[in-house]
Amino acid sequence: MTASHEIRADYHHDTIVVYQAYDDRIADSALAKGRFVGPHFSFSRMTWIKPSFLWLMHRSRFGTAKGQTRVLAVRITRAGFDRALALGVSTDPTARMFASYDLWRAAFDAALVHVQWDTERSITGSAFGHYSIQVGLSRHVIREFVDDWIVSISDMTERVAKLRECVRSGRIDRARALLPSERPYAVPDEIARRWS
């Protein structure tokens, strides 16, 4: 049985894959350089990274949402991802770490990273009974993400198109075969307490 708040991801000993969706200008530049670059990628506003492929499929409408037609798999260091989690403050004011709304609000406003849990989705878009994490990196840590954490960037757009067509035509088993492998990703209790 899946825990209600559990990070599931494609990861190895030193790296973890997070997903993002952009337009052609940002995606093409990132793939050419192996990192995100200006002028179209913004270093001045929050960027969200998502280890759940299916949640990004839901968010980007399988790569058809405006500005989200190019799906990228961004492999980053686990040290970087864990650092982001350690800096994170939950978007939920009822997180158990905070004794009052005012304490949460002060921490949230000062946070370099926001952590949000959203209802995980099945391959057909129905809601599961557990949640998927997305991690919002503020402008104060985006340069660190881009310059120090990123190991590689891969274009998953064609794979997403095949997946989308399989789902639309009812070939669900074929669609599932196209999904990345994800498994539970453990974090220390002292980190998890920041956003659970």
Distance CA 151, CA 163 (A): 25
Position 1 confidence tier, pLDDT thresholds 50, 70, 90:
very low
Distance CA 99, CA 89 (A): 14
Beta strand residue intervals within the chain, DSSP E: 8-9, 15-22, 47-49, 70-77, 88-90, 113-121, 127-137, 150-155, 183-184
Percent of the chain with pLDDT over 70: 97
**CA dist list (Å): 109 to 89, 91, 99, 101, 138:** 9, 10, 16, 12, 11
The verdict on pTM exceeding 0.85 is yes
**How high is the pLDDT of residue 195?**
66
Is it the case that residue 196 has pLDDT exceeding 70? no
Give me the phi and psi of 185, to 5 degrees please. Answer: -115, 115
The predicted-structure confidence for 62-85, as pLDDT tens digits, reads as follows 999 999 999 999 999 999 999 999
Whether the link from the prior residue into 39 is cis, omega within 30° of 0, is yes
Is it the case that residue 127 has pLDDT exceeding 50? yes
- Among 31, 55, 170, 22, smallest CA distance to 121 is for 55
> Beta partners for 117?
133
Is it the case that residue 88 has pLDDT exceeding 50? yes
